[in-house]
Amino acid sequence: MKNKSIITIVFIIICFGVLAFFGGMLGAGPNGYAQQYEFDVNKNVLINSIERLKSENAAFSPPQNYTDKDSLDSLTGHFNVNFFYRDKNTIVYFFINDKQGNTNKSFVNLVSVNEGFHQENYKLINRDFDRKENLKVKKDFEERILTKLKIPYTDSGNGMFIFWK
């Protein structure tokens, strides 16, 4: 009887470990991997700050021939944004949303980095980069964009347990 208990406990621990490690692969599409940054401001304030940053720094705007434009998704309420890192020839995609029922809290969700202008060249944050490169991409995003908004924020991680933050 004692052996059965030990085997059961070991089995549960192994199952929990496997789920914790691989559970992120069950994310809800590409957005399931997104790195989330929390702001204590209304979504519209955050959107206006992003738009102002882009208008003050024309280099952040993707070239005219890039087909994905910043836009509000009427179905989800997400405001989709593309920033261009001219020095790296890279486009960073993120979206802004809020928690329903809380109008004074909004989120920037860093989703992907696209090398060049073709859709098939994108890499998802927290999935397609190794840990070192992933941390570098997120730090670069924070320095180039988030800190320039001059609005305090918190890195909320990505909801994938403890392995990536």
Domain spans, the chain = 28-157
Q: How many CB atoms lie within 10 A of CB 51?
A: 13
Q: Does residue 83 contact residue 92 with C-beta atoms inside 8 Å?
A: yes
> What's the pLDDT at 130?
92
Of the candidate CATH numbers 3.40.50, 1.10.3470, 3.40.1800, 3.30.530, the domain formed by 28-157 belongs to 3.30.530
pLDDT digit string (tens) for 118-153? Answer: 667 889 999 999 999 999 999 999 999 999 999 999
pLDDT at 68: 78
